Amino acid sequence: MYEADAGRYETMPYRRTGRSGLRLPAISLGLWHNFGTDRPLDRQQAIVRRALDLGVTHFDLANNYGPPPGAAETAFGRIVRQDLRPYRDEIVVSTKAGHLMWPGPYGEWGSRKSLLASLDQSLGRMGLDHVDIFYSHRPDPDTPLEETMGALHSAVQQGKALYAGVSNYSPEQTRQAAGILRELGTPLLIHQPRYSMLDRGPETGLLETLTELGAGCIVFSPLAQGLLSSRYLDGVPEGSRAAGASPFLSSDQITGETVGMLRGLNELARDRGQSLAQMALAWVLRDSVTSALVGASSPEQLADSVAASERLGFADEELTRIEELLAQGPSAG
């Protein structure tokens, strides 16, 4: 039987999510990759166990995570039953709906029918009676925002979720969504955008908007799909994401300029006593971000990411040097 490490809360920093009472770990575990049926359950189980042992109390999922879609929630549900059930009140479980899950007109996007049906399916796969955070995964151009936010409000009112969130919404969409939720009596807890050194989109209004709204921010792809790691310092290695058929990172992005930039960033990270990945995580957490989502293919990789929380501060000259190096290479976004 798994028993969580008694010292799991001693080193992980926890940050308040906007103006809410919920605190999230600086590093959260995302199950976007590595939790499909193409990976052994015992490896997935070892990663989740190691996460809780390190104080990572937040596990982020979505209905379509896999492969195939739904597989990550199914795997996580098995791990909950075997290991995490005694610790359910110590962890935060989040899931999302909005991407394609089943055929027909109700299998994706943001209608009330689609979102609430998807949440019920997610709870069934995970064997839970509620999630802590339920997100609208992406804005629906054809459904009134009032309907989508009303569905999130209903999930909270029904006790199937404790908090409501959005992901991939623009600053203006976020502001409108927060206003609707506020009127309904379910505040917007958090927004989940893509953000990294190489993808600075949230800096053009979103981070400022979330601060004004009192909502939290948890970022995905803080390592730019692994590009901001030591893996690509010498080009594209065999077996890497860029060498495969990933729609998120291609070998065409790994140019000589990119490699030169990565080597410069790696040198700066080494001077800070960190790996490149650790510095990249610390960088996204330096200001108004609540938590950074990381994936992990092994317990050791997860532990390396969590170690980023040991040094989150930057000197002004370090931030200046990072901007100089980023200006030398193309954006991965």
> In the chain, how many H helices and how many E strands?
10, 10
| pLDDT at residue 9, rounded to an integer | 98
Q: What is the signed CA dihedral for 237, 238, 242, 247, rounded to 10 degrees? A: 180
Shortest CA distance to 126 belongs to which of 78, 85, 54, 175? 78
- pLDDT at position 245: 55
Compute the distance between CA of residue 47 and CA of residue 41 in angstroms, rounded to an integer.
10
Report the Cα 229 to chain-centroid distance in Å.
17
How far is C-alpha 270 from the geometric centre of its chain's CA atoms?
Answer: 26
Tell me the pairing of strands 23-25 and 14-16. antiparallel
pLDDT of residue 240: 56
**Per-residue pLDDT tens digits of the chain, which is 333 residues long:** 999 999 999 999 999 999 999 999 999 999 999 999 999 999 999 999 999 999 999 999 999 999 999 999 999 999 999 999 999 999 999 999 999 999 999 999 999 999 999 999 999 999 999 999 999 999 999 999 999 999 999 999 999 999 999 999 999 999 999 999 999 999 999 999 999 999 999 999 999 999 999 999 999 999 998 899 988 787 666 655 554 555 555 566 677 788 889 999 999 999 999 999 999 999 999 989 999 999 999 999 999 999 999 999 999 999 999 999 999 876 544
Residue 273 covered by a domain: no
Q: In terms of residue numbers, what domain contains 97?
A: 23-192
Give me the number of domains the chain comprises. 1
Could you give the angle at the alpha carbon of 76 between the alpha carbons of 71 and 82, nearest 5°? 130
DSSP-based three-state secondary structure for 165: strand
CA nearest 28: which of 204, 190, 187? Answer: 190
Residue 84 lies in a domain: yes
The closest of 65, 25, 11 to 216, measured between CA atoms, is 25
Residue 55 lies in a domain: yes
User: What pLDDT, on the 0 to 100 scale, is given for residue 332?
Assistant: 43
Is residue 218 assigned to a domain?
Answer: no
| Residue 148, domain member (yes or no) | yes
CATH number at residue 177: 3.20.20.100
Residue 54 token pair: 């390190």
Q: What is the pLDDT of residue 333?
A: 43
Residues 6+ apart with CB under 8 A from 82: 2, 45
Which residues, in sequence order, are bridge partners of residue 216? 190
Which candidate, 217, 122, 214, places its Cα nearest to that of 168? 217
Q: Is 277 inside any structural domain?
A: no
119 lies in some domain: yes
Compute the distance between CA of residue 55 and CA of residue 50 in angstroms, rounded to an integer.
Answer: 9
- 255 domain residue, yes or no: no
User: Would the CA dihedral through 262, 263, 268, 273 be positive or negative?
Assistant: positive
- Give the CA-trace dihedral at 165, 171, 174, 180, to 10 degrees: 160
Using the Cα atoms of residue 24, residue 28, residue 32 and residue 36 in order, give the sign of their dihedral: negative
